[in-house]
Amino acid sequence: MRARVSAMFGGAGGPLTGGMTQKQGTSGTGWVLGTATVAMGLVAGVFYVFACAIMPALARSDDREFVEVMRNINDVIQNPVFFLSFMGALVLSGVAAWQSRGTPYRGWVWAGLVAYGLAFLVTVAFNVPLNNGLADTADVGVARERFEGAWVGWNVVRAGLATVGVGCLVRGVVVYGGFRRGVR
């Protein structure tokens, strides 16, 4: 009987109840978690590059150049490739969190989802409205004054949150790998 139970549950072994109640995960689960981690890493990287390079470089520009470049960036970033990672990180992390219920790595996946969800909310509640205000203000000096400090600050917040989210998902992937191998 034990041999049949072990074979039925992918070699989980142990008593019948242990094999039936513990989720061993599937390759689909690993794929979703891995893809969520990559997507979130890409978005965190975008926020990081803005914080470390783009905005400090633009700070050296005059008002007209600053506003023109930021308006151009805000236009071109609205594309299917960016939206696939920006939205995909949230959706895939949500799916991964749902799939991880009852597993030892679930806390890491949920923490990653919450951190990225907060970064997503910061983007929607603060950065996007600031982008829209920059586009709608005719006087470039006024536009920059209303935009730059607030946008940079909120970008640092979302970069930090997204980076924490990636770290949590990476830890979730590591624990998931151990879980799949039966390492507790």
CA distance 4 to 44: 46
The model carries a pTM of 0.84
DSSP 53: I
pLDDT, tens digit, 9 for 90 and up, residues 3-15: 443 343 344 443 3
Instruction: Give the pLDDT of residue 25.
Output: 52
Instruction: Give the pLDDT of residue 182.
Output: 85
H helices present in 22-78, as ranges: 27-49, 55-58, 63-76
Q: Under a CB-based contact definition with an 8 Å cutoff, are residues 155 and 50 in contact?
A: yes
Instruction: Give the pLDDT of residue 144.
Output: 98
Instruction: Give the pLDDT of residue 183.
Output: 76
Q: In the chain, which residues have pLDDT < 50?
A: 1-23
Crossing angle (nearest 10°) for helices 80-99 and 140-181: 40
CA distance 78 to 63: 23
Instruction: Give the pLDDT of residue 15.
Output: 38
Instruction: Give the pLDDT of residue 13.
Output: 40
Q: Under a CB-based contact definition with an 8 Å cutoff, are residues 159 and 51 in contact?
A: yes
Instruction: Give the pLDDT of residue 20.
Output: 33
Q: What amino acid is encoded at 133 in this protein?
A: G
3-state helix, strand, coil in the chain (%, to 5): 85, 0, 15
Q: Under a CB-based contact definition with an 8 Å cutoff, are residues 169 and 130 in contact?
A: no
